[in-house]
Structure 1
């Protein structure tokens, strides 16, 4: 799975919380019973200190069918949010797997927004649920394969550590007017994505970075545009168009082969 999926999963997790009326999504807990009208609740005989509730068992992914776990990126961080990604493949049909995962979320007591509000960064079905007690967001993207098996991208995000994204990076400059900055970290590598002002072209992006990076010691690879080196550091500049806006991706890694003197 591409690192570019990380910011999308984070945005999905951030949108998982209740933002609609109580009857629009998962059932809400009922208020406690007040007993008979006019009556006064009586404690049970020999009532002492109320017993503490048993701790809720941690949620575990329940993937149905014959399951094969696929090598995955593992723990990552995006804008300060610890995120764990796993990949699994099952022989169950797509609709059955979606219903099974949805039911497992309901049994766990998680909040789920109505299906019409469940946004997916791809064309595949997606489910996001929130454990409102632990502030853990669970996201699943379902990818149907040619043999009708289903690959599941499983993400768990600890939203209690969320830090609002800043407007600067310590390892690369941003173009003036940059918007929607999203950052991720994985095994010593950094990834950032942002939107440029309307009308910005790829040529303008590359010209900006050639001008901004040269004074701080970076040299562009003569055989591959957008690929800059400074000693053992590698910085790759990429662009793509999304909803009529040019998006810039920055990938930074230390420890690569040094460029020739």
Structure 2
């Protein structure tokens, strides 16, 4: 669940910080057939925008939940862009709405689970409190677009997409760059220095570009053992 929430942070933030999106104070989510709720303590900093997150698991079908969320947005007077204007950054369906009075955006991302339940990742981005984002301190693959940095759970994340290249191209780029910088590859796509660890995750977006995510966190000093020993 933690990995899923961390990934949702990026998706929610990418949708939330798109130009012209925002929300309203005191709004409450109502997800039908809720089974459980996981609140992420504190807030996430995504490209300098404070984002509050929670994950809700429901027994309802994803399409029914999606329509319910849209209906609630509309009932609160939020601006809900037409479907073709909604950011669809990955395979999971997502919807974002805007309350122009408070400049805070709401985003919901739906993930269908193997047990036929649906996990709904919910985000509230306070665009009015945005600050200059902190640099990730990681190299970018040439031609990177939709660049996003986020900070949560003691980790700093860099996320973006690349068109016209393969996952192998991106992986080779980071292997070369990080090995030159003194990192060792301790596992496939996991690189470690004396003080930190960088994990590289690659995927393919709905539209085809390669989705790149690097997670950088502090690590214990190398004890000379191989992973798993």
Name the TM tier (shorter chain). Answer: 0.7 to 0.9
Cα distance in 1, alignment partners of residues 142 and 61 from structure 2: 48
Deviation of the 1:157 alpha carbon: 0.9
* 1:181 aligns with one of 143, 147, 153: 147
SS in 2 for 1:185: strand
1:108 aligns with 2:73: no
* 1:192 aligns with one of 158, 168, 187: 158
Cα distance in 2, alignment partners of residues 201 and 64 from structure 1: 38
Deviation of the 1:209 alpha carbon: 3.5
Deviation of the 1:126 alpha carbon: 3.3
Cα distance in 1, alignment partners of residues 94 and 219 from structure 2: 36
Cα distance in 1, alignment partners of residues 63 and 44 from structure 2: 29
Alpha carbons of structure 1 residues 88 and 218: separation in structure 2 relative to 1, 3 Å: same
Q: Which residue of 1 aligns with 2:217?
A: 253
Unaligned runs of 5+ in 2: none
SS in 2 for 1:141: strand
Q: Which has the higher contact order (CA 8 A, sep 6+)?
A: 2
Larger radius of gyration: 1
Q: Which residue of 1 aligns with 2:203?
A: 240
1:151 aligns with 2:119: yes
* 2:12 aligns with one of 4, 9, 12: 9
Output aligned runs, 1:78-227, within 5 Å: 78-92=46-60, 94=62, 96-144=64-112, 149-162=117-130, 169-170=136-137, 172-196=138-162, 198-199=164-165, 202=168, 204-221=169-186, 224-227=187-190
* 2:36 aligns with one of 48, 66, 69: 69
Deviation of the 1:7 alpha carbon: 2.8
Alpha carbons of structure 1 residues 232 and 139: separation in structure 2 relative to 1, 3 Å: same
SS in 2 for 1:134: coil
Deviation of the 1:182 alpha carbon: 1.6
Cα distance in 1, alignment partners of residues 13 and 160 from structure 2: 14
Cα distance in 2, alignment partners of residues 97 and 201 from structure 1: 33
Deviation of the 1:70 alpha carbon: 3.1
Kept in 1, the 8 Å contact 2:53–2:123? The answer is yes
Report the TM-score when normalising by structure 1.
0.66
Kept in 1, the 8 Å contact 2:17–2:49? The answer is no
SS in 2 for 1:3: helix
* 2:191 aligns with one of 223, 228, 238: 228
Deviation of the 1:11 alpha carbon: 2.7
Alpha carbons of structure 1 residues 233 and 12: separation in structure 2 relative to 1, 3 Å: same
Deviation of the 1:131 alpha carbon: 1.4
Unaligned runs of 5+ in 1: 19-55
